[in-house]
Amino acid sequence: MAKKIILLSLATAFMAVGCVAFPDDGYSDGRYDNGRNYGGYGYDRGYDYRYDRERDRQRWEYQQQRNRLEQERRRQEIERRNWEQNRKNQQDWEHKRNDAERQRNEQQRYKTQQERQRLEQQRQKAQNDREKRAEYDRKKREQSRDQAKRNTEQRKQSDNRRQEQNKRWNETRRDQNK
């Protein structure tokens, strides 16, 4: 067992020394590039900038997608506000129209009622006028009858007087002629 542990330790040490002695930095002569510090390594180990460009592109696309979503959200919010405003305006307009129609109906009803009252007053006045006329005509007929009776009586009286006078004259003449 001790042999296994020693062999494992030697293998680990050899591998660790080999990694440090022969780094994979992209240079065939084993130099280090101390001019750049990418990701805290202190040297460029054959860094592929395509990963940065891909990450930048993904970040840009993500930002564009967020911008589009934000614009869409704002557009929907504006559309919702406009819809609510239009609905409110429509309701206000309908309310005003209904109020105006109700008021017009009330005015029409009032005018109709006034017209009925006027017609009823005219009818009542015409009825009263007819009754007064009928009463006037009745009184006039009564007066005419009374006058006719008086005239008849006066004529009778005057006829009676004349007859009496004529009788007296006749008697006086007869008396004179005899």
pLDDT averaged over every residue in the chain: 82
Taking the C-alpha atoms of residue 165 and residue 111, their distance in angstroms, rounded to an integer, is: 77
The three-point CA angle 88-91-97 to 5° equals 140
CB neighbours of residue 168 within 10 Å: 10
Instruction: Name the residue ranges covered by the structural domains of the chain.
Output: 18-47, 48-128
pTM (predicted TM-score)? 0.38
In one-letter notation, the amino acid at residue 89 is N
Per-residue model confidence as pLDDT tens digits over 119-134: 999 999 999 999 999 9
